[in-house]
Structure 1
Amino acid sequence: MQYLSSRGHKVFAINFPHKQGDGYYWAKQIHDAIQVVKSRTGADKVDVIGWSKGAFAARMYVSSVRESWGTAYAGDVRRLILLGNPNGGYDYPFRHGWYHDFSIFPECGGFVNAPSPHTKMICWGLWRNHPELSIYKTSVGDFFPGQKQMLARWDDVYPLPTWEQDWYTTYYGGLGFYTYGYGINYAMNQGSLVNTIRSAGIPGSVATYLLCGDTNDIPTIHNEHTGPSDGVVFIASCTDTTGIGSVAGNVVMNGLNHLKLGWAEAAMAQINAWLQ
């Protein structure tokens, strides 16, 4: 924000109450925020910059992907800049066996607010049952709808890492040596929106820019390493233009991971150039 503001842009920020929340609500909030910006600036249209899951929700808005209570796209976006967006979806939560669970299941030392691909896991010799920590909608609730919405299978493009523990049952569902889960298809059937968004399309009147990273070196997490990625999203997904009516820019930034796309000076300079 400071980088763009210091270069003369009027910058407004929007945050969301739950970082794993439902994209339908996020898209509605983006619409509402745009109305505030328009009222304060007198502009008819605004430029929207979204990063990661926020970019996914921004694309939902301009594509009018909504529930019955949601708001259709109001024709009020001039430029849409998507940073690290999984335009072709992602399967990162399911692709790496049990690795994510160690940071999620409390009995294994986990504390991260993120969805597990499993409902059960063995920690210290005992099965631990935590459906509420899983990505699925279960009898105890549905706590990570926004993550399900971004899911798409990439196993036909990049082979799964067969050396990682419980890789098969994590991805396809079933009981592994240390984990149990329903698999990516089950989760996708509960609410993936990737194909819906791509089919709905972004209007050609919205100049759309894609900014992606090429380096998988995010500290403290198990980075996506089975294909070229920014550590979370495959480059091929981030740069995918299916359903985008007007691609005004599509750049892969050398040396930037998924997080750095949101603050690295090189990324900010590229965004500033697009906003001229």
Structure 2
Amino acid sequence: MQPQSSADSNSVKPTLMLVLTTLFWGGSFVFNKIGFREIPPVTFFFFRFSLATLLMAIICFPRRHRFNRATFVTGIKVGLALGATNLSFVLGVSGTSATRAGFLNNLFVLLIPMLCLLIWRERVDRWTFAGLAGAMAGLWQLARGGVEGFNQGDLLSTLCALFIAMHIITVSKLLRDEDIYLVSLVQFATVATIGGILFMILPAKPFAITAVSGGALAYCAIFPTVICFTLQNTYQRYTTPTKAGLIYTLDPVWSMLGGMLLLGERLTEQEWVGCGLIFAAVVLPLTVKRLRERQLGIGYRAEAAAE
């Protein structure tokens, strides 16, 4: 086993890259809300992934000879999960604040082990159950705070957390030896297709793509989509799932700061308490697990070390 100090030094770049992904993801809450001022959520959803598909197709062009049926099928499966995630995301963000949506989305960290318990009967430790109790208390405080209490946007943002967990599990169970870039291309195209179908069948709503909404659209297509998926797939394998989960808890911090600085959002006392309880509920189980890993000298995944 590699010494702890060496393992820590090897994980500096992956850690920084994953922190960067949380910054981009946190910004997506703010830029989605900015874009929604001129482009309806479902239309924005469709345009975002259409642009992301085009950009990823350009990136993947030199790798086209690796494309095969397995890649196509896997990409569609994870794309369906990603489509459900992002559709509930845009509908949730459009109905609540970026701050509340960010903390509610982060509940996926607690939902992953619960889904694994329900589906595969995997063991869940008591710290995760404690986190769930804290999260429920946080949701109750959010329901007491705000003008509308726990509204439809909050409910959809919570549902989005479930879909995020399902997407992560789907990716971890289905991806084997496929080319990650090509799988991302297919899943982006799948999501764009879902958006296109909804765009055609739902009642048409007027929209305008100005410099502001176009910039928000470009940001969401490039940074939290193409770049974040690339960085996550490249660097997450060089750390443990627990440490990666801890890093991803920064998402709502960035969405909160962005919402306050760029959108002028402010939280009531109950909302502060609710968001704080949810954040603590997510961080606590991961912190305990990470401390155990450090005691065992585990700094990164075994397969990454082998490379």
Give the TM-score, by structure 1 length. 0.29
Q: Normalized per residue, which structure has more strand? A: 1
TM-score by length of 2: 0.27
